[in-house]
A and B are shown apart, each in its own frame.
Chain A
Amino acid sequence: MNHIISLNIKEKSYNSASSPILKDFNLEVCEGEKIAVVGESGVGKSSLLNIIGLIDKHYKGEYVLFGSQTDKLSDKISAKWRNQKIGFVLQEAALINSLSVEDNIKLPLLYADIESRKASLETFESIVNTIGIAHILMKKPHDCSGGERSRVVFARGVIMKPQIILADEPTASLDEENKERIINLLFKMNKEFNATIITATHDLEVARRYDRIIRLERSK
């Protein structure tokens, strides 16, 4: 299988005084893989996802994504890949409260080119029906339940049919039923579109359902 992610972090720190949050970390990910990243709070799970998702480029090391050296990618290209190739599925709080549910889901379309926008509009209909949020499209996030908000965040993360889905604690603060629903939806994306799923989670029950578990420990 093709390696779509080849990451070699020598060191990642937030400031020079503190000890590195990630050190000598290597990761190879194949297309269509499902990976769970586990570890205590503060060990660098979110930092790792930010690096993989081209949000954070301030680290020592090498990162090849889709065959390209990411340090050579411009800010513009990185943003374009985040829009079209990488989808972020975050906690249910990650919504813009001043926008309706529909506008929140369609937000990535704002940054897409005309063709992708057209295709994604068709995807939008099928996603909202599949995950059962068609009835809340006009509502504002604060008028929705936690479970509904999680599904909205999920819909926004996958509307562009990304090749990589980065999920950061997508089931935190959800009840069992909604937790199950979100995990199933992620796996469905994997199965139907061969999307690579990388999920950071505290939940070992959830993690065990992935192809591979990566355990992060506090660097010394």
Chain B
Amino acid sequence: MKIFGFFIKRLFLKRWILSLSMLLLLFAANYLTFTVARSISSTYQGYQEMRRMDQDGTYIANLDPDSAPNFDRITLEKTQAVYDYLSDNYTYALYADGFIISLPNDDDIEISLNYISRESYALNQLDLSAGSELYFDYQLNEDEIPVLIGKGLSNAYPVGSTIKISDPVLERPIILKVQGVIKPNAHHSNFYALNSKNYYNFSIFIPVNEEFIKESNIDLHVNALMDMVVLHTTEEDAATLSEYIQNNLGLKFNFFSQEENYDYFKDYYANSLKIIMIITLFLLVIIICLSIWNASTSIRLMLKDFTINLLIGLSFSRLKKILFGYFSILFSVNLIVIAVITAYNRHLFWVNKDTLFVTYGLFGLIGIDWVGLLVVACSDVLIGIVIIEIMLWKIKNIPISLGVLQ
């Protein structure tokens, strides 16, 4: 430890520009690795979610980008007619989110109301940390509505408690009863940008049944159509539904099967990921080459220091340990800085009270952040071994007399 301290304080830090430049180069390599690893990890999570829809006869609605909707033409009667048609002819999963309301809670964060039907609930598999599963056969005008809440609300509204809200889609006050609490950081990925996520920590899941749909306003009807999933149907029937909606509401929806979504994923997203990974790898190689060049410069400038120490009792094995220790410090500093930056960014969501993005985690970091840091740590071991072995090879191959007389 004494020898290690001597090398760090009296030799390496005396040439602090070399240490700083090495630190910055390794930081660039680490941050790049972290960003890509986290993005891939997040995409994989989204991919797993998408696979839940991987069933024969499942078609997912997607508003045609060329459709020019005229929302003034759409009336409640027309949308209700669409839902009646759906109920009569199809099995469908309804999910609509993004209805923001104010509700007192410990963190003073607005709440997202998410409306979910029985079929969509079965598809989405929300894991609970407390309470029991949602049920849908309640009487809207008589019973308290059972709901699931996010972790952020569980303190203010424990299981069994009631919440009175003015519901934006029913346009009247309703009483909700907390049935269960969703696990922290439960999320929903955007199926067309799999690494983009909304978190449910400050969400309330309201079960939707036919009675609820009938009493809802046009906002829920239209919003839910955007993410509609039709189950146990055929391509022809999905096309018929699309035609029916277009005739009634003037909205052109494409119903994609999961296979088509996979194709989209492969053609667009997977290829984008491949390109990003190739560019990252290329940049990493450049940065590592620069780091090796920096290490070689350090050796040239510190060769006399190394060789004198070798002459008076330093062994190569100890020098190797010292270099590993030195690089461990540099890598640790980088890991800590990346963790702090990431935790700060996540903290900003809390500061800005960003309902859909606030998350919980150890030191403010969530699972995908830790995966990213783990990948960085593993890549650091490899980068460290390469740089240190090259440094030692250089030191061993320069004649001692030249080193001393440098």
Q: A residues engaging B (CB < 8 A)? A: 14, 46-47, 50, 53, 55-56, 75-76, 78-80, 82-84, 88, 90-91, 93-96, 98-99, 103, 107-108, 110-112, 156, 168
CB atoms of B3 and A94 under 8 A apart: no
Q: Beyond A94-B405, A98-B11, A111-B3, is A88–B305 a contact (Cβ under 8 Å)?
A: no
The residue from B311, B315, B316 contacting A88, defined by CB atoms under 8 A apart: B311
CB-contacts of B302-322 with A (<8 A): 304-305, 308-318
CB atoms of B405 and A56 under 8 A apart: no
Task: Please classify the interface of chain B as helix (H, G, I), strand (E, B), loop, or mixed, using the class held by over half of its residues.
Answer: helix
* Bound: A38/B34 CA distance, A: 59
The residue from A78, A84, A90 contacting B404, defined by CB atoms under 8 A apart: A90
Closest 9 CB pairs of A and B: A83-B313, A111-B313, A79-B315, A46-B401, A108-B312, A94-B404, A98-B14, A88-B311, A75-B315
Kindly supply a per-residue 1/0 record for chain B positions 16-39, scoring 1 wherever the CB is within 8 Å of any chain A CB and 0 otherwise.
000000000000000000000000
User: Distance (Å) between the CB of A75 and the closest chain B CB?
Assistant: 5
User: Distance (Å) between the CB of A109 and the closest chain B CB?
Assistant: 9
Residues of B within 8 A of A78 (CB): 315
Q: Which residue of B lies closest to A107 (CB)?
A: B312
User: Distance (Å) between the CB of A12 and the closest chain B CB?
Assistant: 12
CB atoms of A55 and B3 under 8 A apart: no
Q: B residues engaging A (CB < 8 A)? A: 2-3, 6, 10-11, 14, 304-305, 308-318, 399-401, 404-405
The residue from B2, B308, B317, B405 contacting A76, defined by CB atoms under 8 A apart: B317
CB atoms of A82 and B404 under 8 A apart: no
CB atoms of B313 and A94 under 8 A apart: no
User: Distance (Å) between the CB of B95 and the closest chain A CB?
Assistant: 66
Residues of A within 8 A of B404 (CB): 90-91, 93-94
CB atoms of B405 and A91 under 8 A apart: yes
* Bound: A124/B389 CA distance, A: 37
Q: List, sorted by A's number, 29 A–B pairs whose CB atoms are closer than 8 Å.
A: A46-B399, A46-B400, A47-B399, A50-B400, A53-B311, A55-B311, A76-B315, A78-B315, A79-B314, A79-B316, A79-B318, A80-B313, A80-B315, A82-B312, A82-B313, A83-B312, A83-B313, A88-B312, A91-B405, A93-B404, A93-B405, A94-B304, A98-B11, A98-B14, A99-B10, A107-B308, A111-B3, A111-B312, A156-B312
Q: Which residue of B lies closest to A81 (CB)?
A: B313
Residues of A within 8 A of B314 (CB): 79, 111
* Bound: A103/B10 CA distance, A: 10
Q: Which residue of A lies closest to B311 (CB)?
A: A88
Residues of A within 8 A of B315 (CB): 75-76, 78-80
Q: Beyond A94-B304, A98-B11, is A107–B405 a contact (Cβ under 8 Å)?
A: no
Residues of A within 8 A of B3 (CB): 110-111
* Bound: A53/B308 CA distance, A: 13
The residue from B308, B318, B400, B405 contacting A96, defined by CB atoms under 8 A apart: B308
* Bound: A53/B312 CA distance, A: 10
* Bound: A50/B400 CA distance, A: 8
Residues of B within 8 A of A55 (CB): 310-311, 400
* Bound: A205/B240 CA distance, A: 110
CB atoms of B308 and A168 under 8 A apart: no
Q: Beyond A98-B14, A110-B3, is A56–B313 a contact (Cβ under 8 Å)?
A: no
Residues of B within 8 A of A56 (CB): 400
Q: A90-B311, A94-B405 provided; 19 other pairs, C-beta below 8 A?
A: A14-B399, A46-B401, A50-B400, A50-B401, A75-B317, A76-B318, A79-B313, A80-B313, A82-B313, A83-B312, A83-B313, A88-B311, A91-B404, A91-B405, A94-B308, A98-B11, A107-B308, A108-B312, A111-B3
Residues of B within 8 A of A98 (CB): 10-11, 14, 305
The residue from A46, A50, A108, A168 contacting B313, defined by CB atoms under 8 A apart: A108
* Bound: A41/B9 CA distance, A: 37
Residues of A within 8 A of B399 (CB): 14, 46-47, 50
CB atoms of A110 and B6 under 8 A apart: yes
Residues of B within 8 A of A103 (CB): 10
Q: Which residue of B lies closest to A94 (CB)?
A: B404
Residues of A within 8 A of B309 (CB): 107
- From B10, B14, B304, B401, name the one whose CB has the most chain A CB atoms within 10 angstroms: B401
